[in-house]
Chain A
Amino acid sequence: MNASPFYKMTQRAVVERAPLAFFVIGSWLWLFSIHSPVQAAQRPDDHPIPQVAAINQKIWQSWQDHKLTPSAVAKESEWCRRVYLDLIGRIPTIDELKIFEKDRQKDRKLNLVNTLLYNDGYTEEYARNWTTIWTNVLIGRNGGNENRSLTSRQGMQKYLRDSFARNKSYDQMVLELISAEGVNTPGMKNFNGAVNFLANKLTENATLATAQTTEIFLGMQVQCTQCHNHPFNEWKQAKFWEMNAFFRQTVALRRFKRDSRDIQFVELANQDFAGESGQAQEAELYYELRNGLLKVAYPVFVDGTAIGSSGYLRDINRRLELAQLVVSSPYMPQAIANRMWAHFLGYGFTKPVNDMGPHNTASHPELLVYLGQEFRSNSFDLKQLIQWIVLSKPYSLSSQMNRNNFQDDPELGEQPKFSHFYLRQMRAEELYESLLVATRAHKIQRSYQEQEETKNRWLRQFTIAFGTDEGDETTTFNGTIPQALMLFNGDLIERATSADEGGFLNSVATSKLTDAQKIQYLYRAGLARRPSGREIGAANQLLAARLGNTTAALQDVWWAILNSNEFILNH
């Protein structure tokens, strides 16, 4: 039957790996045989890439410390689905799945990761996925969608897409995003999409710019200290306003459309800051303590580095200074390592990822520091960081728990130990892209911009703004009823399950495959696995109910697959 080639393949893989495994088992047996021969079986896998080996070693150590037995390694098709989702933002097609399954080489996992990272055929999808993720981080799901917004969502995305497509180093991106000057809208003179990160965050004395720059790039939360010294955070109110002082030379200039209040474009510019008492040589700002006293602040970085107090641009470009301080600080690489780890493993080393510091101990502090250092010494190359994490042991594990690791559940408030893969729901964007690809709708040629606009319109149904000046928001694509209704009856699903001629289901239905193979095809396309006997039985019942109309039965099966937990949960 169909299951057997797969079985054979895994058998063979084990045999091929044997010499290496023998060597490693040998050395670890020596280390652990005295204490516990059982634990010796849980040796950390060695790996030819030293960073991967180091991750494996450090994570393995925490399993030892907490007496956890990691889950078995996930099925290769599960792992493949995961990698596609997390790296390029969609599930693999059947063809892609087949190519991976046919690759019998020892380093087929490395091959797949490198294909998705470096093959030209995937550059656009890689860039699109990380653009989506970073657009949401930098300007939110709703940024630029509001009327008369100072943000150009399109401009932000253009900047990010170019950066990710060229694999711009992360330090360069951070530098550009924090220090950007120029016009926010594509097609305008002096266009610089990077300005969109800050363009809408400068009102109220740039409090939002201060909070989000610190939070996103340094992984530190300072906004609570804006109003008072927060008892649980070592940050002091002074630090917030000293960081804030870096943004006081920056202005967002609006240019309106002729005879209209609609904004044509926004230009982010620097100008001399005269301070709050008009002395540009000593350009200060004041803030109010809880007891009502006023205090003065000048630009000082979180580590205490002061850059002088002049507000004249010819003396100091405060925002550029800040950008350089951020990039050279140890917090920056750790913050991105934490964020990337959370993206791939479901949880970061701290919860939330953007609140690091002594008040919030990391689950694996050594590993976090190590990844930060390695990221810096490897030229802040995001693709390298991705490769290390995706090839690591914890990322390879099944989400099926065992008797000795079910207690490793961050939902229960425990720090994550990464002894099994944590289930998580696809993001709305991932669902959208997955359906396009699974139903081959992406083959319909339209311009990139048109595609993105259609997707953006669809995504907006899930976004709810909270009505504050900070533009904070939430999503109803969160596993609740509105999401379930969309997947039951929404137009996206209607299209995906349409029987129209030339469409996906129609092409499966009219192919030369047998009915059983057609069912199997759908399960592989949606869930990257073959159907069970009972599932085939259920499909046959649907075929009978549809009076032998194969296309209609396939519609039903495909609908059931797309609505399942197994489909929507990255597992």
Chain B
Amino acid sequence: MTLPALTFGTSVKAHAADLKRRNKSAIMLWMGGGPSTIDIWDLKPGAATSGSFAPISTSGDLQICEHLPMMAQQMHHMAVIRSMSTREADHQRGRYYMHTGYVPDRNIQHPSYGSVVAHELTGTQTELEIPPFVTVGGGSVGPGFLGMAWAPFTVSSDGKVRNLDHKIDSDRLLQRMAALNLIESNFNRQNRGSAGKEHEKILQKTLTLMTSEQLNAFQVRQEPQAIQDTYGTNGFGRGCLLARRLVEAGVPFVEVDLGGWDNHANIFPTLETKLPMMDQAMSALVVDLEQRGLLQDTAIIWMGEFSRTPRINGNTGRDHWARSWSVVVGGGGMKGGVAIGETNHDGTRVETEPYTSQDVMASICQALGISLQTVFTSNNGRPMKIANGGKVIKELFS
């Protein structure tokens, strides 16, 4: 009598796949350290601040760096927001601000992008057994007042989840869980605060994860070699490929980290080796998502905590700079092929309406169909508008 069971399983899977297609996701490519956007997306040939690189034409109505030839072919899918102007030029503060839309506050921990999106979109994805917010190769920013259940689940770029194998049979594991739950609930009845209860929730999620078939989504090495090669056989390439697999499996938010952009010295040789690697992985992701019909429902965000000074310093590097810089977005129904806003001739000032972290976040929420009227209540009872009340960047949706 295996046949009915098999049929049942298949129909559930088909149903889940159907759901996934209707669901929105986002992939954030997090460029830790603060990449120099004046050398990547908004070049200033001829200006005193210009670096060593020349701009090239793209498939969209804008030019980008010559070291991104593959992305140049995909720019009709992407928009470069060139009038980003923020105030946080310290790594920790910038990371927090760009991830949450809020400046750090001693009294409140705000939830990061992934936690917000996972929290808002998971309601429609009840069959998801793996965590709804996955970070690949990085730490991201935590779930803040939304609670540990919405914390980023961190994996390395090869998708390896440590310590999954429980080594004892499932019956025994469940018997152990029964004994554990008794201690757990006893402690939680003693009015000692929320930490114990958060722990209990995480235990349940862990148990679900350990026994889930959806874990297969993490097996990035199971992709055909040809596809792995398209993305590039390096950490970031595999991370982007893993992101696609996770999105396909219904994970609403994946963050892929690429660090090493904190180029205070010798910036140009560093970028010359870094950009081709990023170019390959990022363009492969866009192409792959499009070919699978996922790009329309998957928003992509490329950004770091800030950018780098137009002025080149004494060590042929660039220092931290937040006043005028670029963020790249695409997919999720957002308009591609355009540069939004502009900086002045040497990149030191934004000439058009300045955009902020909040505005980018609001636009991503819009693209994902998350209502901007959403208001969270922080743990101290304060109302918290989603995306800190940022305004949608109109040019992305015109």
Contact = CB atoms under 8 A, between A and B. Distances in A.
Nearest to B135: A464
A466 B138 contact: yes
Interface in B76-100: 87, 89-93, 95
Contact of B151 (A467, A478, A486, A561): A478
B7 interface: no
B151 A473 contact: no
A64 interface: no
Contacts of A227: 89-90, 319-320
A97 B214 CA distance: 45
Interface in B166-187: 166-167, 171-172, 175-180, 182-184, 186-187
A413 interface: yes
Contacts of B90: 223-224, 226-227
Interface string B20-36: 00000000000011100
A535 B198 CA distance: 22
B154 A204 contact: no
A120 interface: no
Contacts of A441: none
A150 to B, nearest CB: 15
B262 A467 contact: yes
Interface in A388-414: 399-402, 406, 409, 411-414
Contacts of B48: none
B340 interface: no
Interface in A245-303: none
A481 interface: yes
A467 B257 contact: yes
Contacts of A473: 139
Given A401-B193, A485-B164, A538 B178 contact: yes
Contact of B139 (A466, A470, A568): A466
A489 interface: yes
Given A412-B380, A413-B379, A563 B259 contact: no
Which of A494, A539, A560, A569 has the largest count of B CB atoms less than 10 A from its CB?
A560
B195 A565 contact: yes
B202 interface: yes
Interface in A462-481: 464-470, 472-474, 476, 478-481
A214 B217 CA distance: 46
Interface stretch (A3-11, A21-29, A310-318, A420-428): A420-428
A466 B182 contact: no
A541 B138 CA distance: 43
B153 A482 contact: yes
Contact of A565 (B92, B106, B151, B200): B200
A559 to B, nearest CB: 5
A545 B194 contact: no
Size band of the interface chain A makes with B: 35 or more
Interface in A422-458: 422-425
A466 B255 CA distance: 13
B131 interface: yes
A467 B192 contact: no
A190 interface: no
B205 A467 contact: no
B210 interface: yes
A494 B167 contact: yes
A488 interface: yes
A136 interface: no
A489 B198 contact: no
Nearest to B107: A413
Interface in A224-244: 224, 226-228
B191 A424 contact: no
Given A474-B139, A479-B202, A485-B206, A541 B191 contact: no
B186 A532 contact: yes
Interface string B118-138: 000000000000010000001
Contact of B179 (A467, A478, A542): A542
Contact of A488 (B87, B148, B184, B206): B206
B32 A556 contact: no
A489 B164 contact: yes
A472 B131 contact: no
A328 interface: no
A409 B193 contact: yes
B17 to A, nearest CB: 25
A329 interface: no
Contacts of B162: 461, 482, 485-486, 490
B245 to A, nearest CB: 18
A379 interface: no
B161 interface: yes
B199 A479 contact: yes
A116 B122 CA distance: 49
A489 B175 contact: no
B192 to A, nearest CB: 5
B192 A399 contact: yes
A406 B200 contact: no
Contacts of A556: 172, 175-176, 179
B379 A423 contact: no
Contacts of B265: 204
A535 B184 CA distance: 11
A560 B176 contact: yes
A360 B206 contact: no
A400 B189 CA distance: 10
A193 to B, nearest CB: 27
Contacts of A402: 191
A214 to B, nearest CB: 14
A476 B32 contact: no
Given A400-B191, A557-B179, 10 more contacts: A406-B191, A465-B259, A482-B154, A488-B166, A539-B179, A545-B175, A559-B176, A565-B195, A565-B200, A566-B183
Q: Which 4 A-B pairs have the closest CB atoms?
A: A467-B259, A413-B107, A467-B32, A474-B139
21 contacts: A227-B319, A400-B192, A401-B193, A464-B138, A467-B257, A467-B259, A467-B260, A468-B91, A469-B264, A479-B199, A481-B209, A485-B163, A485-B209, A489-B210, A534-B186, A541-B179, A542-B175, A561-B183, A564-B187, A565-B199, A571-B192
